[in-house]
Amino acid sequence: MTAVTDHADHSDHADRADRADHSERAGYTERADRTERAEPWDDGLIARRAGGLPVEALETGPMSPATYDAPPEGELKQRLDSLRELVGLSRTRLDGSTLAEAGRVLDEAAARRRLSARHTVVAVAGATGSGKSTLFNALAGVPLSETGLRRPTTSAPIACSWTDGAAGLLDRLGIPGRSRRRPLQGQHGDAALDGLVLVDLPDHDSAAPAHRQQVDRVLALVDAVIWVVDPEKYADAMLHERYLRPMAGHAEVMFVVLNQIDRLPGDAAEQVLDDLRRLLDEDGIALGEHGEPGATVLPLSALTGEGVGELRDCLDQFTAERGAAARRIAADIDAAADQLRPVYAVGRQTGLSEAAREEFADRLADAVGAAAAGQAAERAWSRGANKACGTPWLRLWRWYEAQRSLTSPAAAPLVPADEEATARQRVEHAVRAVGDAAATGLPAAWGQAVREAAARGSEGLPEALDELAVEADSREGSGSRASSVPYGSGAGRPPRPGWWPVAVLLQVTMTVLQVLGGLWLLGQIVGVFPPNLGVPVLMMLTGIVGGPCVEWSCRLAAKGPARRYGHEAERRLRDAAAACGRARVLDPVAAELLRYREVREQYVRVAGFSTTGR
């Protein structure tokens, strides 16, 4: 009757546990689904700048890694979100192999977080003959995994769950129902191992490739691992180089047990254990000694039971903390961040300096002929002053020379055949130079992306600069350009200052004095006027001398305004060329640099850096 009652109580407890596990799994699934729906792997917003974390922390140390002890749920979610954003921003810039591990971590983390959080999946791994299956049976309290001298003994993973509700976790591991076991309950004292799911793996050094593949697959999915070594193979190079060393960052979810200590006489067990700790230290595995986080190293004998109780107590405390899954995910994120470090943490300041921008603008101004355009505008201003303030006789002579030059055949101006090609080469050289300057200090993949952005923006830039020059000429009033200067340099009719009408009036007065004086003298010669040479001669001399003086004074007065007018024309064309280059080249390059900056900010969060030591 008592047995029946106990069985009923056990069944009722199992049913309640299943319902609680189902509810908890449903809650995790719902939260994960909301996360996935709200935050897809898109490219993000280029213009968004994430604040709060200095990206310069990647270039200027010292940086302190964030603590790894039981990461809070919010911190872990933030790191996963940052990794997801990092992958989304980098997907079009980096090849798939570079981001493959980060994508796998995101997928596996999402899958694990959807499943039960009160279960801890621990794999028992080891080499052939290490006694891992014996240890598996000793922990379960009943022979569940086959042991013996035939190798390999374990050909497929076998799972043992101490608590109901772990079906989803075992399905994720690909362990079929026939390989799932339950331990013998009530024989282990205080170590209830509530929530423990123990998985016995095939030998990692098995001669069968399928066995090694199963080991690698399951090790990537479990929350923790117990490495079982024996006195003969604890220093095996394959174990350390293929598994322990690459998993050094997972020390907090790792147990290393030295089995078969009953075969070692005297203090040989302590000597072997010390040597094992030395090897683990060389592998970079932190040891959980003196209260510090790290791997737990224990000696035991699965055959005699010596030390098994201590391991069981450690597992009981480990599973009771309910933090192994989170620590495993955090360790996977650390490993992915370490793999991506050469891509995002180059140790140098990056960006496009102001000097590089100014040099780019100067090169475009040189290609568009801004200096020549300014000189042409200055000469046009001076010519206008000479025409307006020159003597009528000199202007008449210039008109006659112009008419004669139109009727006589003139040699065509010699224009270099490669002038336009040279200007195009200048533009291309300017684009390459600014692309190289912007890519300085960037990793190879991002530097190439920046150069490609600059190259795409340079397409059609020479033609756009040519149109700018023509528009500038049109605004000046003539719309023509000198054919010997690339992209146009001719200046239109310059504006007249306020003193020009006064100079013109003076010049007209000098001309009138000459004409009146001449007519007065002619009238005296023919007898129309009485003889009086003094006044008409003085009038003629005043006009003859005063006209050139007015013209000379106007030339002196026109030098400063002409120079300023030329500088202003050069500045306008230079600014127009710089604006065109900024819109077509610098803005795309800046957008690419901004994307890289945002990715680095996300990387800082993914890597879990803190700036407390700065």
Could you tell me the sign of the dihedral formed by the alpha carbons of 131, 137, 143, 144, in that order? negative
- CA dist list (Å): 478 to 222, 491, 493, 570: 79, 7, 7, 17
The whole-angstrom separation of Cα 554 and Cα 560 is: 11
The pair of structure tokens assigned to 338 is 């370490």
* pLDDT(480) > 60: no
The number of beta carbons lying within 10 Å of the beta carbon of residue 501 is 11
- C-alpha distances in Å from residue 322, one per residue of 48, 140, 181, 233, 437: 37, 20, 22, 32, 51
Calculate the average pLDDT of the chain.
76
Class of domain 119-321: alpha beta
Domain definitions of the chain by residue range? 119-321
Query: Helix 324-344 and helix 587-607: axis angle, to 10°?
Result: 150
Q: What is the pLDDT of residues 48-72, one digit of tens each?
A: 333 344 444 454 443 333 333 557 7
Tell me: the pLDDT tens digits for 525-567? 777 777 777 777 788 788 777 777 777 777 776 677 778 877 8
Q: Is the pTM of this model over 0.85?
A: no
CB of 472 within 8 A of CB of 573?
A: yes
Under the banding of pLDDT at 50, 70 and 90, the label for residue 285 is very high
Angle between helices 96-113 and 324-344 (to 10 degrees): 160
In eight-state DSSP terms, residue 243 is: I
Distance CA 546, CA 6 (A): 132
Tokens of 110: 């999402």
Q: Which long-range contacts (CB under 8 A, 24 or more apart) does 438-442 make?
A: 438/351, 438/352, 438/356, 438/589, 438/592, 438/593, 440/350, 441/346, 441/348, 441/349, 441/350, 442/346, 442/350, 442/596
